[in-house]
């Protein structure tokens, strides 16, 4: 059973860069897109972006200038960096696997990590 575990600092200062890691266990990283989704306190879900095993990535245009994602298949890890942090970046950050269905024509996020809470504050 594939499991995802996010890790990173719980508290970061404004203007700094957040670095989070998602560790994948119990299965292969091959042929999957790995996503980051965040949820501010008491609010809904926001897609940050995804990265493929090849390293190619797509980001939410609203965050594109500040986001970078990478994958290390040898360590079975996915990384997220988010720069120039403000209080608006305070959220629970989730890692999620995108699974493809029906000959790769449709997709959904079938496995999620438990999330890691990040607070941006001085």
Partner 1 sequence: DILMTQSPSYLSASLGDTVTITCRASQSIAKYLNWYQQKPGKAPQLLIYAAFALESGVPSRFTGGESGTDFTLTISGLQPEDFATYYCQQTYGIPVTFGQGTRLDIK
Which residues of the chain form contacts with partner 1 (CB under 8 A)? 35, 37, 44-47, 58, 60-62, 94, 96, 98, 101-102, 106-110, 112-115
- Closest contact distance (angstroms) between CB of 69 and partner 1 is 14
SS3 content of the chain, % helix, strand, coil (to 5): 5, 55, 40
**72/107 with CB nearer partner 1:** 107
Q: Give first-to-last CA distance, the chain, whole Å.
A: 39
Q: Which is nearer to partner 1, 15 or 25 (CB)?
A: 25
Determine the Cα angle at 62 with ends 59 and 66, to 5°.
70
**Sign (positive or negative) of CA dihedral 91, 98, 56, 104:** negative
- The least distance separating partner 1 from the CB of residue 98, rounded to whole angstroms, comes to 8
Residue 14 or residue 101: which is nearer to partner 1 going by CB? 101
- Which residues is 117 bridged to in the sheet? 92
Shortest spacing between CB 56 and partner 1, in angstroms: 13
């Amino acid at each position: 059973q594939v499991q995802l575990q996010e890790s990173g600092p719980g508290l970061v200062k404004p203007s700094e860069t957040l670095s989070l890691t998602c560790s994948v266990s119990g299965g292969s990283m091959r042929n999957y897109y790995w996503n980051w989704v965040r949820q501010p306190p008491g609010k809904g879900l926001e897609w940050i972006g995804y990265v493929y095993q090849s390293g190619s990535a797509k980001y939410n245009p609203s965050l594109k200038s500040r986001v970078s994602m990478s994958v290390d298949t040898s360590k079975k890890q996915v990384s997220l960096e988010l720069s120039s942090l403000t209080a608006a970046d305070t959220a629970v950050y989730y890692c999620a696997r995108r699974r493809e269905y029906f000959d790769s024509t449709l997709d959904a996020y079938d496995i999620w990590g438990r999330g890691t809470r990040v607070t941006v504050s001085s």
